[in-house]
Every structure is written in structure tokens, then in C-alpha cells.
Structure 1
Amino acid sequence: MKPSTPSTVCVLFHVFFGSLSAVTICGNLLVIISITYFKQLHTPTNSLILSLAVADLLVGLVVFPFNMEFSVSSCVFSEELSCKVRDSFDVTLCTASILNLCCISIDRYYAVCHPLTYRTKINVHVVVIMIVVSWSVSLLVAIGLVMAGLDQAKCQENCFIDLQLANILGLLCSFYLPVILMLSIYLKIFLVAQKQVRSIQGTKSGATASKMERKATKTLATVMGVFLMCWSPFFLCTSFQLLTHMPVPVAVIESLSWLALSNSMLNPFIYAFFYSWFRSAFRMIISRKIFQGDFSDSKLH
């Protein structure tokens, strides 16, 4: 039961996670405005980043408030309709965010490993297909899990196996398969980058080549490290509970859920703030310079 008057802990809880929601919304909104406004950023790669930013923006706008409300009302595992709505938004948007990250890794693979054929392999048509598939799969996973839950509520034991199967498929599509794909791709990118560095060591100083190699390592480690840090605990806990049927404290699940959602707040920093042209775009937007004239053709550097 929710207390009639909010306690100090609840107030602090809402202030803290409300701040995270605001940062998530603002960060992803900056990315969306930058890509849609500045013509220099109208590229297939940035279309994928735009799709990711939309998913993460909706996480901050929809999922964060739902989680703030239900984390203090013990909604987890409830059969109420409002909780089903929360779960469907949660699964759809978080899966879309993860699958968009997966699409970005595929784009980076062709850019680094096949630079000569990159523009023909990753064009606007291919990017649109990738985005549509990512969002479609996310919707199907969410619908499948919600429908399996509703059926299980009606027929109880007879639908238990169907629900287990739906949960397993959901975990595979939402996390494990994308993670395996991303780890494989980024490992390949890292190996190719190392090979490229070694091939130019004869024309550049060893210190410069070593610096490039460290930068490539740091970038890839940051991308995958932050993603795995945020999402792995939640999905491993969920998998453990699903396979062993052992109850996990609600507080633990909610804490891990918030850690996972924080990835949507960090994505703009990882995939946008690392690039100088995005930083230039952000400065122009924050300073409101774009409202003083038409700067859509500005050269960002």
C-alpha cells in the first residue's frame, strides 16, 4: 500500500530519478534536434543514431515516470492493467534501444572493415529497413510477452510452459542475441583497427601509432563496457529467476531495472558527445544561435 503522505525517502527517490529522466530527455533531444536540423548530419549512420535517440527519449519520457510511480507502489508482478501497460512500454522501448545499438555496430563494422564498399552496402534504403526491423521486432516481443501473461492469468497451470517459452524467447531477442552479435562485431572491428595501425607504423612514429591503438581500444571498451554494465545485471537476474523459479526480492529487481534504464541516459554521451561535429551542434542549440537565423548549412567541426 502507498503511504497517504509521501515519506522523505519517497520524495528523495522521485527527485533523484526525476533528475535522471530530465537528463535523459534533454540529452536525447539535443541529438534529435542536431540530426534533423543540420544538413551535414543527414547521413545513413546518423539516421541510426536518430532512431536510437528517439527510443531513449521515449524511455526517459514514458518508462522513467512509470517506474518512479510503480517502484513505490509494489507494482511488480501485479496483474493490474496499468502494470501490463508499464511492462509493454518498458519491453518495447528498451528492446528498441538495444536493437538500434546493434544496428549501429553493424554500420561501424562495414565502415571500418569494408570502407571501399561501405557507401554501397549501408545506404538510406538499408538503414530504413534496419530501423523498421528493429522497432517491429521490439513491438512483437512486447506483444508476445503481454499476451502470454494474459493467457497465463486465465488458464494458470496449462499455460505455464507457453509463458516460460515466451519469456525465454523474449530474453534471447531483447538481449542475448544482440549482445553476442555486438561482441563479435566489435571484436572484429578492434582486430581490424589493430591491423591497420600496425600497417602504418612504418610511416608514422611508434608513439602516434600506439596512441591511435589506445584510442580505438578505449572507444570500443567504453561502448561495450557501459552497455554491459547497465544491462547485464538485470537480464542475468531475470534469467536466474526464470530458470530456477527462485523468488528475487522486488527491491533487487527494481534497482537492476533502474541501472539498465540508465543506459538510455548515457547513450547520447557515448554515441554523440565523442564526435566534434555533434559537440558543435549542441553548443549552437544550447546557446540558441539556431533561432537567430538559418544555420542548417553550417559547417560543423
Structure 2
Amino acid sequence: MYFLLSLISAVTVFLNLLVIISISHFKQLQTPTNLLILSLAVSDLLVGLIVIPAMTVAILESCWVFGEYFCPLLLYISFLCMSLSLGNLVLISVDRYVAVCDPLMYHSKITITRIKCCITITWLCCIIYDAVLTKIMVNVQVPSRCFEECYFSGGFTDGIIMDLVISLVVPCSIIITLYMKIFVVARSQARKVYSQEASTVSGVKTAQANKSERKAARTLGIVVFNYIICWIPIYFFNLIYVASGDSSSAFICFLLLINSFFNPIIYAFFYPWFKVTAKHILTLKVLHL
């Protein structure tokens, strides 16, 4: 189990590091959408680098071995990575909504500067919110020798309900609503393209641009719904088992963290630029570019 979970951690770090290096090194890839993917990859990298290894020890060892202060720190980083992922996915949904539903105004509304500001604000809000959530949910005042002693506190139920609304109901409602509109508009655009043959060069370019935006929306939609499917069960599990303090909750938390492992795999399958840049990085050709 140590070998398997360590392998998952190493692969998660490696794949997300490829995404980060690809977008950071190649200037032509630094588009607003890819900057959001970069921010998501950084949070996934933290999961693979810190959360998964520490959670592995928490699952496989009978009691906590890292000391009384590392347990709240681990849970804070776990909450932070989850919030950052969801915040980035909300921004990605807004980005794809504007790109597909209002393509003529996309480049004026969605700029590099605005995206960087939105990412910065999202990170700051998540850092503050998860500090408050950790204070409510985690047993930070009593020294904890076992993982369950740290995780379950008097305010655990209140924290779960608050987080259920703020980190699940509201953002997921926004994401699902935007993507429903995106797919309705994309379907309408596809029908127009097929029904009306592009007779001019500009018409062909417009059709190709719309097709590209729809493909990007579809790919990022897979990333979004992969996250939702992975994370929704944890809230219902915590609400059901909050009174029992079942230690298997740690194992379920770990399973959900594997979402960070799947994201770069989705990019590899659906984004040609990731395949090309990964090849350049692995063959060290990137040093000469």
C-alpha cells in the first residue's frame, strides 16, 4: 500500500509539473484559459507533493506520527487545495461561457491581466476561508496523537454544513448552469455551421474558431464534472458519519484527492499542445527553445 500510494503521489507531482513547465516556459501557451489551467495544476501539485504522502501515513498508521501541529496543517492544506480547485473551475466555466456564448467580445472581456487578478483574488479568498474552516472543524487546541482526534471537533457538524453551502452548492450550481448554457449555444452553433456552408474565407475562419472554442469547452467540461463527481460524495459521507467519527473517512478523503491525478491525464488525451510540450520537456529539447 505504501508503494502504491507513493507511486500515485509521484505520478501526480510529475504530470502536474509537466503542465506547469509547459505553460510557464512557452509564451504562446500563456492564454487566459491556460493560465487558469496553470493555477489548477499548482493546487493539484500541492496535493501530490504534500497531502497524498501525509494522508497515506494517516491511513496506514494506527496513530498520528507527525506531531500535534502537523495534523491541523495537513487538513488546512487539504481544504485549501479543494477550495482552490473549485475556485479555478468556476473561473474556467466563466471563461468558456464568454468564449462560446459571446466570442466577438471574448478578447476584450477576458484579458491576461484580468485573469491574473481573478486568480490572485481566488487564492487570497481561499486562504482566508480555509483558515476559518480549519479553526471551526479541526481540534487545534488539544494535542492529537491520532488522526481522528485531530479531525473531529465540537464544531465539525457546523463546519460541514457551512462548507456544504459555500464550497459545493453555490459554486457547483454556477458551474452546472454555465455549462448547460454553453452546450445549448454550442449545439446551436454547430447546427448553423452544418446548415450554412461557409462561402467566404472569413466564414471558414469563424466556423473553425467556433469549433475550437466548443472543443475547449467540452474538454474543460470533462475536467469540471470529473471534479464534481469525485468531491460530492465526501460531503454526504461526512454528514452521515459525523457522529460516529469513523476512521474510514480518512480513506475516502484520500480517494477523492486522486482527482488531482486525473486532471493532467485529461489534458494529455484532449490537448495536442500538452503532448507536444511534454515531449519537448522529456527529451530536454525545451532547453534549446
Q: What range describes the TM-score normalised by the shorter chain of this pair?
A: 0.7 to 0.9
Give TM-score scaled by structure 1 length.
Answer: 0.78
CA deviation profile, 1:92-120 (whole Å, cap 9, x unmatched)? 12211221122111111111111111111
Distance 1:216 1:33, change over 3 A: closer
| Match runs of 1:196-215 below 5 Å | 196-203=189-196
- Work out the CA distance in 2 between the residues paired with 1:225 and 1:183: 9
What is the identity, as a one-letter code, of the residue corresponding to 2:259? N
Structure 1: give runs of 5+ residues left out of the alignment: 1-12, 205-211, 296-301
| Match runs of 1:1-301 below 5 Å | 13-74=1-62, 80-149=68-137, 160=154, 164-203=157-196, 219=219, 222-242=222-242, 245=243, 247=244, 249-251=246-248, 253-271=249-267, 273-291=269-287, 293=288, 295=289
- Work out the CA distance in 2 between the residues paired with 1:186 and 1:111: 12
- Work out the CA distance in 1 between the residues paired with 2:268 and 2:96: 14
Shift of 1:130: 1.6
Distance 1:69 1:272, change over 3 A: same
Contact 1:144–1:166 (CA<8 Å) still a contact in 2? no
Distance 1:223 1:173, change over 3 A: same
Contact 1:183–1:224 (CA<8 Å) still a contact in 2? no
CA RMSD of aligned residues (A): 2.9
Contact 1:95–1:138 (CA<8 Å) still a contact in 2? yes
Structure 2: give runs of 5+ residues left out of the alignment: 143-152, 198-210
Distance 1:108 1:221, change over 3 A: closer
Give TM-score scaled by structure 2 length.
Answer: 0.81
Distance 1:169 1:64, change over 3 A: same
Contact 1:91–1:141 (CA<8 Å) still a contact in 2? no
- The alignment covers a number of residue pairs equal to 264
- Work out the CA distance in 2 between the residues paired with 1:219 and 1:44: 16
Match of 1:6 in 2: none
- Work out the CA distance in 2 between the residues paired with 1:195 and 1:50: 31
Partner SS state of residue 80, structure 1? coil
Contact 1:28–1:57 (CA<8 Å) still a contact in 2? yes
- Work out the CA distance in 1 between the residues paired with 2:267 and 2:45: 14
Contact 2:268–2:274 (CA<8 Å) still a contact in 1? yes
What is the identity, as a one-letter code, of the residue corresponding to 1:175? L
What is the identity, as a one-letter code, of the residue corresponding to 1:275? Y
